[in-house]
């Protein structure tokens, strides 16, 4: 029989390490409104000592343009308390900083950040100014003759003219250990990218120097995630011996915007990436080559989509995860070629009709196969993510259908807007007409709990450069 | 093999080995060095361990967590942005008093996963509160020196109204 000594608990006698752990969680979603770390430092003498003497709490610094007094002093204090810890710096340059006071504050913060440049771990810049010169060149100039050994991630999103964004390449040329690069609306000039790069996200980036981009991709053998909102066009080096142009042996996730260009399929075929298992596809809604009503006029655009799907099929990837902005019938041939598919993210519940071959009818929603030639998909989904869970009654039918559907073995349903939507909403859609869905919502939540979040395996929502959720309620 | 845990009030809880393995103190007491060296351990069903400062209610709550995680690994380390499973967040709840007892018991019993979850629970309860609100919630006395108050005044600037509303 073992006895343990008596212990008297109270918040103010918690070990310092435990308090620090609590504070780290508390500042995880800190922002300039809550200012949690400042709040925690003003509770009592003990807490203040713990907060001030714990540099990790001060390592995340966000600068938003403001004309309010004291912002600069707070930034100085925060940097001082961060001591030598790695810094995660976020700068938001918005149109409100266009006035002189805002610009002066911004300049001060940039010089402050540059004074600690060897501690940068991540750098996020949202550049939405207009009418004034970008400060990106100032920042790039400040790191020109130095190295940023700790810098692992850079994100630069801008709404400015894309040609002004090329300074970001001067900046990352000083970061030999960069692993994540996320650019939006930047004129991608194909500058050399550090070899350790693992994640490359190019959103709406103009590819002017195509050959240089191909060269750049050839020099990033460690790439694991590649997102391009536009596929690369033909390059001058495309007259080759038939082997793949781009060898990415570690690539596991491909996120591609498919615009129905002729070169889309060509780009997919150039990839030599045997480990790809996750696809995020970004296309527009298009008509169905199998629908009796529409197949009479399959356009050239649809043919281009189909050629992309054939190129993906030809790669022989073992795909287990797919995220598509909208699942319309043309995706079916693609999905049917993926027996290992386990995770699927779609925009709306009605997109699932394509999978179960439900006819689009005005009244009722029984599954009516479109024809004997249509085969049932051979995959069994484990996780399903639906951005707009607008027809829970349909999903219920699919879950409980006999014979089993690809949804019968689902273990997890993600629907970030499942509860925020009013359940008594009357659905008005071309698929189902008008119907009240409140009972179906309750039934679905009762028999199959829905997680109100977006899964990690799907593309980030909205502004993160994933497939756009084109329609919403 | 099962182990009997005895709470502060003397209540006995019979737990299986996988459940008891989640509790570091119990593991150490029950198996001693043999456990760590990988040798066979005694299989005495009557083995009892008194946890003199864990009440029955908290011990039973902790055993629910241990039972849940007997076959899988809880989150024990990571960055502050990590997402806890929904079950964990529902388990820990928002009752500050109870979370504090769970935290202190988890610290005392050496259950790192539960300790981390309790830290997250407390952080969630503190979220959005000003210093006065936190003091009131936790019964903490603001014991700043005059010098510190002057420093804080300088820090606060324009947003003092949020930190110290009058």
Residue-level pLDDT, tens digit, chain A, 473 residues: 444 443 334 677 788 999 999 999 998 877 666 678 888 998 999 999 999 999 999 998 888 766 555 677 778 888 999 999 999 999 888 766 556 666 777 888 889 999 999 999 999 998 887 767 778 888 999 998 899 999 999 999 888 877 778 888 888 889 999 999 998 888 877 677 888 999 998 888 877 667 777 777 878 889 999 988 877 776 655 555 556 678 899 999 998 887 777 788 888 888 889 999 998 887 655 544 445 444 444 566 677 777 888 888 889 899 999 887 655 555 666 777 788 999 988 877 767 776 765 433 333 444 444 344 445 557 888 999 887 777 787 888 888 877 777 888 888 898 876 654 555 455 445 554 445 667 777 788 888 878 877 888 887 654 444 444 433 32
Please say whether the beta carbons of A234 and A214 come within 8 A. no
Decide if A23 is inside a domain: yes
Decide if A19 is inside a domain: yes
Q: Which of B123, B132, B133, B144 to mutate to test the interface with A (most CBs of A within 10 A)?
A: B123
Please say whether the beta carbons of A284 and A470 come within 8 A. yes
Architecture of the structural domain at B2-126: 2-Layer Sandwich (3.30)
pLDDT at B102 > cutoff 90: yes
Domain residue spans of chain B: 2-126, 131-163
Decide if A270 is inside a domain: no
The arithmetic mean of pLDDT across residues B29-58, rounded, is 66
Of the candidates A111, A45, A57, the one whose C-alpha atom is nearest the C-alpha of residue A82 is A57
Q: Which of A19, A21, A26, A43 to mutate to test the interface with B (most CBs of B within 10 A)?
A: A43
Q: Cα(A214)–Cα(B5) distance, rounded to whole angstroms? A: 65
* Number of compact structural domains in chain A: 2
Sort out which chain A residues have CB atoms less than 8 A from B115's CB and list them: 18, 21
Query: pTM for this structure?
Result: 0.79
State which residues form the domain around A21: 12-58
Q: Which residues contact B63 (CB under 8 A, 6 or more apart)?
A: B5, B13, B15, B19
Decide if A462 is inside a domain: yes
Domain stop point among A58, A76, A94: A58
| Residue A158 CA: distances (Å) to CA of A95, A123, A204, B14, B154 | 12, 14, 10, 61, 35
Helices and strands (DSSP H and E) totals, chain B: 9, 3
Measure B7 CA to nearest chain A CA, in Å: 11
Measure B12 CA to nearest chain A CA, in Å: 13
Cβ separation B157–A35 shorter than 8 A: no
Q: What is the pLDDT of residue A3?
A: 43
Is the complex ipTM more than 0.90? no
The three-state secondary structure class of A105 is helix
Decide if A473 is inside a domain: yes
pLDDT at B100 > cutoff 80: yes
Decide if A172 is inside a domain: no
Cβ separation B152–A47 shorter than 8 A: no
Q: Cα(A185)–Cα(A435) distance, rounded to whole angstroms? A: 42
Decide if A329 is inside a domain: no
The three-state secondary structure class of A186 is coil
Instruction: Write out pLDDT tens, residues A249-278.
Output: 999 999 888 777 778 888 888 888 999 999
Which of A10-24, A426-440, B14-28, B104-118 has maximum average pLDDT? B104-118
Decide if A363 is inside a domain: yes
């Amino acid at each position: 029989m073992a006895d343990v000594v008596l212990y008297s608990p109270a918040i103010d006698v918690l070990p310092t390490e435990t308090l620090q752990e609590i504070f780290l969680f508390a500042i995880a979603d800190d922002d300039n409104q809550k200012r949690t770390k400042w709040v925690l430092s003003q509770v009592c003498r003990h807490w203040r000592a713990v907060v001030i003497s714990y540099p990790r709490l001060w390592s995340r610094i966000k600068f938003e343009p403001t004309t309010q007094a004291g912002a600069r002093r707070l930034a100085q204090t925060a940097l001082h308390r961060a001591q030598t810890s790695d810094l995660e710096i976020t700068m938001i340059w918005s149109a409100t900083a266009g006035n002189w006071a805002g610009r002066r504050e911004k300049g001060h913060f940039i010089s402050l950040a540059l004074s600690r440049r060897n501690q940068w771990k991540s750098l996020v810049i949202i550049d939405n100014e207009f009418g004034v010169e970008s400060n990106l060149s100032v920042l790039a100039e400040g790191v020109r003759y130095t190295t940023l050994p700790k810098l692992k991630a850079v994100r630069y999103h801008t709404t400015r003219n894309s040609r002004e964004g090329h300074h970001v390449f001067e900046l990352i040329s000083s970061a030999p250990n960069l692993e994540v690069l996320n650019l939006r609306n930047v004129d991608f000039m194909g500058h050399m990218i550090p070899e350790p790069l693992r994640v490359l996200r190019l959103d709406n980036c103009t590819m002017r120097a195509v050959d240089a981009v191909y060269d750049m991709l050839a020099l990033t053998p460690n790439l694991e995630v590649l997102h391009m909102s536009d596929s690369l066009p033909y390059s001058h080096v495309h007259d080759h011996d038939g082997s793949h142009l781009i060898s990415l042996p570690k690539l596991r996730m491909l996120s591609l915007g498919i615009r129905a260009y002729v070169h889309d399929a060509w780009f997919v075929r150039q990839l030599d990436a045997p480990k790809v298992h996750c696809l995020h596809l970004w296309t527009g809604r298009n008509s169905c080559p199998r629908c009796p009503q529409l197949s009479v006029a399959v356009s050239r655009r649809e043919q281009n989509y189909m050629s992309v799907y054939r190129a993906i099929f030809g790669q022989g990837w073992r795909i287990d995860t797919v995220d598509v902005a909208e699942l319309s019938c043309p995706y079916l041939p693609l999905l049917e070629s993926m027996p290992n598919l386990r995770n699927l993210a779609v925009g709306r519940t009605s997109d699932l009709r394509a999978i179960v071959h439900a006819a689009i009818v005005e009244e009722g929603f029984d599954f009516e196969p479109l024809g004997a030639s249509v085969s049932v998909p051979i995959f069994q989904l484990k996780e399903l993510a639906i951005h707009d869970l607008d027809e829970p009654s349909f999903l219920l039918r699919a879950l409980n259908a006999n014979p089993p559907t690809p949804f019968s073995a689902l273990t997890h349903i993600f629907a970030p807007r499942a509860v925020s939507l009013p359940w008594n909403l009357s659905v008005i859609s071309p698929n189902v007409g008008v119907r009240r869905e409140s009972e179906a919502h309750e039934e679905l939540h009762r028999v199959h709990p829905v997680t109100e979040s977006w899964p990690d395996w799907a593309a980030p929502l909205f502004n993160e450069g994933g497939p756009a959720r084109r329609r919403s309620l | 093999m099962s182990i009997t845990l005895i709470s502060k009030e003397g209540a006995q809880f019979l737990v299986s080995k996988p459940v008891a393995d989640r509790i570091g103190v119990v593991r150490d007491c029950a198996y001693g060095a043999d456990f760590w060296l990988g040798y066979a351990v005694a299989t005495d069903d009557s083995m009892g361990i008194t946890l003199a400062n864990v009440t029955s209610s908290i011990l039973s709550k902790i055993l629910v967590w241990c039972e849940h995680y007997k076959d899988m690994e809880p989150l024990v380390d990571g960055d502050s942005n990590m997402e806890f499973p929904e079950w964990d967040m529902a388990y820990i709840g928002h009752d500050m008093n109870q979370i504090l007892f769970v935290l202190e018991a988890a610290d005392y019993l050496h259950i790192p996963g539960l300790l981390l979850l309790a830290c997250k629970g407390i952080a969630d309860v503190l979220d959005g509160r000003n210093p006065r609100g936190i003091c009131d919630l936790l019964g903490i006395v603001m014991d700043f020196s005059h010098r510190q108050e002057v420093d804080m005044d300088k820090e606060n600037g324009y947003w003092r109204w949020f930190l110290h509303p009058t």
